[in-house]
Chain A
């Protein structure tokens, strides 16, 4: 048996969490212990729990070493966008607040809304 199957330790752990509510509850209380039990070292755990981005990096690092799984590492994609009819230089709705006392001050539309204001 090769060691490839045992390499994605974080990924395996997260998949097990999804199927085991008691393990998920224990992980929520003490993620460091669960990560240690999954075979991660102290330095790896420190890195992984620092932020979502750090955890994502750790997960992607282990998956990219696996030829069968590296295809799963992709750029996060948006699934909506500014509607196509919105041209930046033609705001299509009035800028007037419904209640001048409560609403915001209207802006003057510029030719290019993505252009920085003059200093």
Chain B
């Protein structure tokens, strides 16, 4: 058992009840070969039960290799099943395992608390039930974007929204700051998989952004690479000018670059 796993055990309630459950929520980062931290690895290896939701099969195999008691949460999803319903079932599964006495490690891709609802909700419920729970930080898609595009939020300012939230809520934007919209590949979707409606919704989003930022503002449709040695997917466009062919993939992020 690794040192980090030992820490997880040490955080369990005192009293010597080895069967008392606990929860550790970790992230693999985007590239599991490079980003998985020693602490996250230790938590995976030391858990009684590992539940994972990952975006690529190499990461899934990596987690299963680290702990044979790992199993996927993917079966909770359905193409048209509302994701909120899926998340509720996932949280129930996590909480049930912890209150059943297991040291549970939940593994999510990216950062487990950035644009990731189940980890936060599971931690809140586990703590409310009197069990220890913690989240370990990890590398998110946003971190990769900042590195790959050479953006320092201190220089430009940074606004970040979930794409559908941005579209519906219409928050005030600072047109001089960098804007990052995550999950544009699931724009307007409430189910588990994208439909053809994403492409038309994305066109409307680009129209909205052109109104907000003006025609000609540079933007990038970005997808971090989950594989070492492979460059990220970048599609550069100018709002209102040459954005007609841009289509987001399911994992794409849209970044409107700073006007500064």
Which A residues lie at the B interface, using CB under 8 A?
A: 11, 14-15, 17-18, 24, 27-28, 31, 34, 48-49, 51-53, 55-56, 59-60, 63, 69, 71-84, 86, 88, 91-93, 95-98, 102-107, 109, 113-117
Contacts and interface: CB of A to CB of B under 8 A. Distances in A.
A52 B204 contact: no
Nearest to A88: B168
Contacts of A31: 228-230
Contacts of B53: 77, 79
Contacts of A95: 170, 172
Interface in B114-139: 115-119
A17 B227 CA distance: 10
Top 5 nearest A-B pairs (CB, nearest first) are A31-B229, A72-B57, A82-B164, A52-B225, A76-B55
29 contacts: A14-B58, A18-B33, A18-B36, A27-B228, A31-B230, A51-B233, A52-B226, A53-B249, A55-B230, A69-B61, A75-B77, A76-B55, A78-B83, A78-B115, A78-B183, A79-B53, A81-B162, A91-B168, A95-B172, A102-B175, A103-B174, A104-B212, A104-B213, A106-B170, A107-B208, A109-B170, A113-B204, A115-B204, A116-B200
Contact of A104 (B175, B190, B227): B175
Contacts of B232: 52
Contacts of B228: 14, 17, 24, 27-28, 31
B251 A81 contact: no
A78 B200 CA distance: 20
A81 to B, nearest CB: 5
Query: Is the interface on chain B under 10, 10 to 19, 20 to 34, or 35 or more residues?
Result: 35 or more
Given A24-B33, A59-B57, A75-B250, A92 B230 contact: no
A63 to B, nearest CB: 5
A81 B173 contact: no
A80 B36 contact: no
B33 A80 contact: no
Contacts of A49: 229-230
A95 B162 CA distance: 17
Interface string B54-92: 011110111001000000101001000001100100000
B260 interface: no
Contact of A82 (B58, B168, B171): B168
A88 B175 CA distance: 24
B252 to A, nearest CB: 10
